[in-house]
Every structure is written in C-alpha cells, then in structure tokens.
Amino acid sequence: MADYKRAKMVLDKEYAIGTTDERLFGSFIEHLGRAVYGGIYEPAHPQADEEGFRKDVLELVRELNVSVIRYPGGNFVSGYNWEDGVGPKERRPARLDLAWRVTEPNTFGTNEFVRWARKAGAGVMLAVNLGTRGPDAARNLVEYCNHPGGTYWSDLRKAHGYPEPHGIKLWCLGNEMDGPWQIGHKTAEEYGRIACEAAKVMKWVDPDIELVVCGSSSRWMPTFPAWEATVLEHTYEHVDYISLHTYYGNQENNIRNYLAKSLDMEMFIRTVIATCDYIQAKKRSKKQINLSFDEWNVWYHSHAADKELEPWTIAPPQLEDVYTFEDALLVGCMLITLLNHADRVKIACLAQLVNVIAPIMTENRGLAWRQTIFYPFLHVSRYGRGRVLQAVISSPRYDVEEYTDVPLLAATAVARDEDGELTVFAVNRDTDQPLLLEGRLGQFDGYQVMEHIVLEHKDLKAKNTKEEPDNVVPHNRGDSRVEEGFLRAILPGLSWNVIRMKKQSS
Ligand code: AHR
C-alpha cells in the first residue's frame, strides 16, 4: 500500500445504533417559487398527465424513493387558509402570500397534493397553520382529510370528489414559530399553549395521528434550547416528535470549514435529545419524544438573486440554488450524521424536492434534471435502510476556523440482514490526499465488495445544468476489497463513497 493517511472503522454485526425509520428518507414541497407551479404541477407541459402532474418530475422523484413529503410549508403555511385550496378550481381565490411576497393562485391544494404524492410513491406529512389560525382550522382539516363521512368537513371532501378518507398520519403543528420572520411568530410560552390545544383537538378527531411540535429554526436561534424545554413543558404528553431545521452554505469559500458544518448538525441533534430527555425526567414520564429533522440542506447560492425579484408575481424562480460538487459532499456528511442518530431521528426531510433548494431542477415547459446533491440522497435512500451499526472510528483530524478536531473521515455503516448486505457510506474531507479506510468487519464472515460508488470531481464548483446535466455523476470504479475480514478502501481526496458489500454464498 502506498503511504496513505489511514482511518480505522471497527464494526460488529451485533452492535447497532438502531434501525432506520422509513421516514428518514423524506423531503418537502412548499408553495414557494416553482416547487409546485412549474415543478410538480404544470398542466401545459408536454409531459403533464391527465391531472396536470409532470411525468418527467414524477419519474425522478420515484427514482429517489422519497418516503414521506412535507406540505404545504414552510413559512407559507403560517398564512394559509387550507379551504382556499380545495373544491372547484374556478371558485378558488387567488391570495397574497405574505411569507414569500407572491400571489398564490390556489389551483393546487391538499387533495391534489395527496394525489400527486400517491403517484410519487410517497407518504404525506401535512402542516397546519398556527400563525394566523389555530386549533379550530387545524381540527377541521384533520376531519376533512381523515374522517370517513357523515359530518360537514368529511362530506365536503366527498363532494369534492374524494369518497375515501386520505388517512394522513403525520402532522406538523405549524412551522418555525420561534422565528421573527414567521407570520404569527410567538414566544415559546404562547406557542406551547396553542400547540398543546391544537394537538388535543386534532387527536380527538383522529387518535391515530402523530404530531410534530416546532423546535428551533437552527442551533443559532437566541432562544435555543430554552425554546424546546418550554414548548415541551406544555406539550409533552400530546405530541410525538419535535422538529429541527438547519441550512448551511459555503459563504466563506473555505472547503475545510464548509465540510465541517455537519458537526454543527451533530451538536444540534445531541442538544435536542438532551433537552427532550431532561423534560421526560422532569415530568417523570415513560414517554420518549423523538426527533423530526424536517428541513435540512444547503441553502445560500440564491440569496442575492432572490432580493432582486418583483413582488406579487405567480411562481417566480425563488430559492433556485444551483448546487456544486462540494455541496454534494456536505449533503453526504449530513446524511451520515442523520443515519448515525437513527435511534432518535425518525423523520428527516431534505428541503426541498423540486426547483426550490432542490435535488431536482426543471425548466417551465422544458426539461428536468438531477442536481449534484441528488446522488448522495439517492444512494442513502437506496442502500441506507436497515440497521445502522455502532461504528468505532479513529481518523486523523484537523482544526479550522469554526471547528476543532474535525475528522477527515465522516462515515457510517448500514447492515441489511435480509439481503446479506453491508454498506459503508463515507466522505473523505481531505482536500488533496486519498485516505485509506481500514474496516474490521466483526462477524460479517464471507462478505465481499460488490460495488464501490464514488462521487468525485476535479472542480469543487462543478454543477449540473440543463446544458450539461451529467457533469457531476458518480462512477463505480472505486478501489476497495475485503481480505481476511478487513475492508481496505481508498477514498479519494474530497469524495463521497458508497462501499456495498454482500455475503458470498459458499
Ligand atoms: O425551506 C425554505 C424555508 O426555510 C421554509 O419555508 C422555512 O420553514 C425555512 O426557514
């Protein structure tokens, strides 16, 4: 072996962090920019189906195998009247959307979203408006969606052409209510009270639903983590999950610092777990609150362009980040962080899915293509469902502006016992050198490498565009092998790696 830097990973088949929840591979569609209009829904597009859904986009969403999709916001939901988006389209009102300073035509609403999500093969996570509205509108929406019939709201759904209940099981109690930018922003006390009352009546309408209460909009909010503690004091016995949101960017144009930002996500998750468990102890409760990381991604490329947009237009190109190769590496690090907390993070939504800070881009009336960040999500969604192992990792480390002790190796391992598969996901953060990963595969006898997928590029700022949709794509010529129970893999400098091993039949 050449004189590589080395990192070690010790695995044991019996030692697992937890099994991934299906909903960890979720995403998000908000009424924002061209996510809905021109993204998933464009009746005038040559590829639109009979309901106006773009078939080219549906195909890409299915490729990602997205498990659950959050809707309709985001900041949008805090000013939304859900009743505007149901019933005959010609009677639906156009409204000012104050969150994003656009006009919302309401030609797409809850029923259309449920239909679209079914076609995409995804579950639905609906958010209710706790900004301008409250428990009454929220319980009516649950009744409209989930009650079988014989009441005002359930019969209205039937009259709108949906005889069967939608059966939506997962609901968010508002969005980012800690943020002063939010319509109807509240203190933790105010929000805790209204969330508790909304939760009670929503569950009285349908006791089978699960509820996500709003946590902080990032680890840097001045009210974090006292917000979580206060909100949970009010809602603990009525809710099931608490939300976390975070976005990162390479504003400093410093790759070593940028790739370390998943350490911030790690610290955020740990602190929220600690806060949940503190309130559990304080309340002497047997119930455990789990985490819903229902907005996470890279978001910064589009900030300047968004300031230039004309207000009150319909579906302008907002938040259209064009992602680079280095963004895909950070997204990979963030996915690894989420997997490594599979015991407590049960739901996660890559924000968002189409056009708006998204893995999928479209052109109105034109093409759809995969951004760079599409690939790490695809790989984890395909091969990352299973038992996340308790990997013991030792790696060379570095210090950088915002972080100390950053490991060159970010990694996790997932066992899929039913298929006899073991997959290692790894990012080498080293800017110029390959890293030799030596993995001890305890009790994975007879496993051999079947594929080593690598995403690498000589240009950190390389992008996929309409003209060059395949500029940044993975290859499967990675260099790794298993010998005498040890994995030996070469991870190129600055690369995302998926090392798929399988038990060989003897
Ligand atoms: O995803 C974009 C926006 O980011 C969402 O509307 C909001 O919840 C967050 O601040």
Q: Is the pLDDT of residue 62 over 80?
A: yes
> How far, in Å, is the centroid of ligand 1 from the Cα of 168?
22
Decide if 320 is catalytic: no
Could you tell me if the CB of 350 is within 6 A of ligand 1? no
Which protein residue has the closest C-alpha to ligand 1 atom 3? 74
> How far, in Å, is the centroid of ligand 1 from the Cα of 74?
5
> How far, in Å, is the centroid of ligand 1 from the Cα of 182?
10
Residue 364: pLDDT band (50, 70, 90) is very high
Measured from the Cα of 297, ligand 1's closest atom is 1
> How far, in Å, is the centroid of ligand 1 from the Cα of 303?
13
d(CA 19, CA 14): 12
For a pLDDT cut of 90, what percent of the chain falls above it? 99
Could you tell me if the CB of 297 is within 6 A of ligand 1? no
Which protein residue has the closest C-alpha to ligand 1 atom 5? 74
Which protein residue has the closest C-alpha to ligand 1 atom 8? 74
Q: Provide the greatest CA pair distance for the chain.
A: 74
pLDDT value of residue 136: 98
Measured from the Cα of 319, ligand 1's closest atom is 2
CATH of domain 21-383: 3.20.20.80
Q: Is the pLDDT of residue 506 over 70?
A: no
Decide if 451 is catalytic: no
pLDDT value of residue 3: 83
Q: How many CA atoms lie within 13 A of 285 on its CB side?
A: 18
pLDDT tens per residue across span 121-163: 999 999 999 999 999 999 999 999 999 999 999 999 999 999 9
Q: Which position among 112, 266, 295, 456 bears the catalytic label?
A: 295
Could you tell me if the CB of 321 is within 6 A of ligand 1? no
Measured from the Cα of 217, ligand 1's closest atom is 10
H-assigned helices in 283-406: 303-307, 325-339, 374-383
pLDDT tens per residue across span 169-209: 999 999 999 999 999 999 999 999 999 999 999 999 999 99
Best CA proximity match to 337, nearest among 255, 434, 272: 272
pLDDT tens per residue across span 73-107: 999 999 999 999 999 999 999 999 999 999 999 99
Secondary element (H or E) of residue 455? strand 447-455
pLDDT tens per residue across span 369-418: 999 999 999 999 999 999 999 999 999 999 999 999 999 999 999 999 99
Which protein residue has the closest C-alpha to ligand 1 atom 2? 74
pLDDT value of residue 505: 82
**pLDDT mean over 214-221:** 98
State the pairing for strand pair 123-128/170-173. parallel
> How far, in Å, is the centroid of ligand 1 from the Cα of 75?
6
> How far, in Å, is the centroid of ligand 1 from the Cα of 295?
7
Could you tell me if the CB of 352 is within 6 A of ligand 1? yes
Q: Which position among 176, 197, 228, 456 bears the catalytic label?
A: 176
Which protein residue has the closest C-alpha to ligand 1 atom 1? 351
pLDDT tens per residue across span 307-356: 999 999 999 999 999 999 999 999 999 999 999 999 999 999 999 999 99
Phi-psi region of 177 (alpha: psi -120 to 50; beta: other; left: phi over 0): alpha
pLDDT value of residue 1: 59
CATH topology of domain 5-14+389-503: Immunoglobulin-like (2.60.40)
pLDDT tens per residue across span 248-289: 999 999 999 999 999 999 999 999 999 999 999 999 999 999
Hey, where are the domains in the chain?
Answer: 5-14+389-503, 21-383
Best CA proximity match to 97, nearest among 81, 116, 111: 81
Best CA proximity match to 431, nearest among 260, 256, 252: 256
Q: Is the pLDDT of residue 361 over 90?
A: yes
Could you tell me if the CB of 351 is within 6 A of ligand 1? yes
> How far, in Å, is the centroid of ligand 1 from the Cα of 266?
20
| Helix, strand and coil percent figures for the chain, each rounded to 5 | 30, 30, 45
pLDDT value of residue 193: 98
Which positions ≥6 away from 182 have C-beta within 8 Å?
75, 78, 131, 175, 176
Which protein residue has the closest C-alpha to ligand 1 atom 6? 74
